[in-house]
Structure 1
Amino acid sequence: MQEAVNAAYRAGEPSTIAILPGTYTGTVLIPAGTPPLTVYGAGRPGEVRLEFQVDATLTPAAWAALVNADGRYAEGDPAWPMFQACANRTSATAGLCATVVWSQSPGLKLKNLTITNTLLDTVDRGTHQALALRTDADRTQLEAMRLIGRQDTFMANADDVARIARVSVRDSYIEGDTDFVFGRAAAVFERTRFHLVSSRKASGGVVFAPNTDPHFPYGFLVTHSLITADNGYAAAPTGYLGRAWDQGASATGYLPGVTPNGQLVIRDSLIGAGFNAVTPWAPAATTSRPFTTSVEAGRDLDDVTTNRLWEYRNLGPDVR
């Protein structure tokens, strides 16, 4: 698929890539500057599979050797700067470069595909970020997609903190166990199933982890969707719907108005068994900031001293 993306970039006009049923192994980088691109599976979502096993704990050099073992990224190719930016990181680990498909291009549409980071349960329950899909740009559309991983399955991101990246997700399935839908995009999820699994992490899993800029009023909206957990969580309901991601504040602690303050609304949806009914929101990632909010009439929904995580008009066995 990388060759097709390179060809679409060089064509300089909107393009469509159709992928025949099968399993395709390796990463795909869609660089900024790619004209609006549609990639769809010519079959059911489960019949067209993009897969790779990559762990954020790898060093940048090990990441580069792994993802480019077949030479799919070469100097002069459109995606070469993306590849080099990760390969030459000065950090100890590859971090959020550890993704199967990564797009920096506005106007991307993905449809009828399964994207899986196959690291899955091959590692312990520790911090093993392993993304299936990362999108950084505006006007991203996902439809009839299956995104499967464990920690950090789908990153709906904005690569420029000063601008909003809009993402639409419809009629899809997303699976994981830790912060598996996260990022700072303004994302709307409709008729989508989010499934928390216990095969690697038997307790305390988290579905959403937005890191919305504190100056932006909208982060994630989940509507007319289904949030479920597997039998392990149904037997011991310790799952969390979400938590804020206080990105960048590990040394300073949460700084009101400076640190991201994740925003999320779950409404008109069905929440299944397995989630903590008393405390559905976990302390923030990075800082462990305790969840706190106001329920007073006339409250400021964007108060930077409190959380912006909300539920409205949902159904389910533990919804009150």
Structure 2
Amino acid sequence: MRRRTFLELTATLGAGVTWPSAAAAAAAVPGTGAADGPGARPGRRRPDLIVAADGSGDLTTVQAAIDAAPSGATTPYVIGIRPGAYLGQVVVPAAKTFLELRGLGSGPADVVIADDRANGTLKPDGTPWGTSGSASVTLSGADFRAADLTFANLFDEAAHPEITNRQAVAVLTRADRLAFERVRFLGNQDTLYVNSTAAGVIARAYFRDCHVEGDVDFIFGRATAVFERCRIHSLDRGSTPNGYVTAPSTDLANPHGLLFARCRLTSDAAAGTVLLGRPWHPGNDPNAVGQTVVRESWIGPHVGETAWSDFGTWPWTQARLREYRNVGPGALVTAGRPQLTRAEAAVNEIPDFLRGADGWSPDLPRHRA
């Protein structure tokens, strides 16, 4: 599956749909006190600001709304985003806490927030952006949430053969207690970078009913990140290997890295050509002993008898890479695919990853099974 272009992503946005004015979007709904436009759900706080590219809201860009939000908030500040394409880098600084970006369309594809730079893309000063600098969206504010929208990096590898460092991040997370629901993350290499402020610092992120796609190391970093009921889609590069789903760099002191629970791992790639991951040691850090756990998930035939790979000189067998009770044509149990024991599985549930010292439990009850 080739990467979708920006024009393809946005060609049908809002087609045949009439969206309400900012005043209508803030109209009261019986029993909730507020609405946020089409698809409003009972109990949801109405937006504090409306972003609309066509000028029908309070502001026309996502970054302007973030800049207008209060600093140091201790309660949610909701930015509603009308259907449309919002192209340009977005940064949520550490001071902007408790922000929520909420798409106001009928589904995540109706609101697209994207940029198109890669690691090797040059800045105006002639130096490259680097992997972190390539991010379309950088999230450094704690307690951030997003729902019902798409984040994408639209860097076109084929159009830029001169750029060899092709890491192109859609979203970089650096903060703690982040939650995403019904959000799409689109890219090729290094789509979703779940990180923290420094090695040894734990930062937690929760993804539910989301879609993440890419090819090489497209979910990576040292954060503690839980993916529940998500679709994890590997793009077809037409090569062998076709790519790696994860590249965890979890610090050795952190018992919890990347967890995929009740997810669907899919691909259009040939059978047995995609690997579940490889351990990343940034800066050759020996303490970056990555953890990826895939449990009780459906795995397509794109994953074969060997699911893990070495990363340079770092052997995968020394990392924390495990599976448990997966199903599907690619859910094989072989010597190259170590499994959790029942006792290990009992201490690697979703709450174990997210609870932390503060007892955090993301409050996303609307679709809880």
TM-score of Structure 1 vs Structure 2, range by shorter chain: 0.7 to 0.9
Q: Distance in 2 between matches of 1:58 and 1:127?
A: 8
Q: Distance in 2 between matches of 1:271 and 1:54?
A: 31
**3-state secondary structure, aligned to 1:40:** strand
Identify the match of residue 183 of structure 1 among 217, 221, 234.
Answer: 221
1:60, distance to aligned residue in structure 2 (A)? 4.3
Letter in structure 1 aligned against 2:289: N
**Matched residues, percent identical?**
36
Letter in structure 2 aligned against 1:312: Y
Identify the match of residue 135 of structure 1 among 173, 180, 185.
Answer: 173
Map Cα deviations across residues 12-62 of structure 1 (whole Å, 9 max, x no partner). Answer: 563100000111111100001112101110011001111211111124445
Identify the match of residue 283 of structure 1 among 291, 296, 310.
Answer: 310
Aligned counterpart, 2:210: 172
The answer as to whether partners of 1:120 and 1:150 remain within 8 angstroms in 2 is no
**3-state secondary structure, aligned to 1:145:** strand
The answer as to whether partners of 1:203 and 1:233 remain within 8 angstroms in 2 is no
Q: Distance in 2 between matches of 1:238 and 1:16?
A: 42
TM-score (norm 2): 0.68
1:289, distance to aligned residue in structure 2 (A)? 1.7
RMSD of aligned residue pairs (Cα, Å): 2.1
Q: Distance in 2 between matches of 1:62 and 1:310?
A: 44
Matched pairs, number: 267
Aligned counterpart, 1:25: 87
Q: Distance in 2 between matches of 1:186 and 1:11?
A: 24
**3-state secondary structure, aligned to 1:131:** coil
Identify the match of residue 309 of structure 1 among 306, 316, 321.
Answer: 321
Aligned counterpart, 1:302: none
Map Cα deviations across residues 171-219 of structure 1 (whole Å, 9 max, x no partner). Answer: 0000000000011111111000111111476633000111000111110
Identify the match of residue 277 of structure 2 among 229, 234, 242.
Answer: 242
Aligned counterpart, 1:51: 114
How does 1:14-163 map onto structure 2 within 5 Å?
Answer: 14-43=76-105, 44-61=107-124, 93-122=129-158, 123=160, 127-163=165-201
Map Cα deviations across residues 44-100 of structure 1 (whole Å, 9 max, x no partner). Answer: 10011112111111244458xxxxxxxxxxxxxxxxxxxxxxxxxxx7553311011
Letter in structure 2 aligned against 1:269: S
Q: Distance in 2 between matches of 1:203 and 1:192?
A: 23
Q: Distance in 2 between matches of 1:106 and 1:201?
A: 39
Map Cα deviations across residues 110-129 of structure 1 (whole Å, 9 max, x no partner). Answer: 11111111114434595401
Identify the match of residue 226 of structure 1 among 264, 285, 297.
Answer: 264
Aligned counterpart, 1:268: 296
The answer as to whether partners of 1:60 and 1:94 remain within 8 angstroms in 2 is no
The answer as to whether partners of 2:221 and 2:249 remain within 8 angstroms in 1 is yes
Letter in structure 1 aligned against 2:96: T
List runs of 5+ in structure 2 lacking aligned partners.
Answer: 1-61, 334-369
Q: Distance in 2 between matches of 1:291 and 1:16?
A: 42
Relative distance call for 1:215 and 1:113 in structure 2 (3 A) is: same
Q: Distance in 2 between matches of 1:12 and 1:269?
A: 37
Aligned counterpart, 1:7: 68
Tell me: higher relative CO, structure 1 or 2? Use CA pairs within 8 A at least 6 residues apart: 1
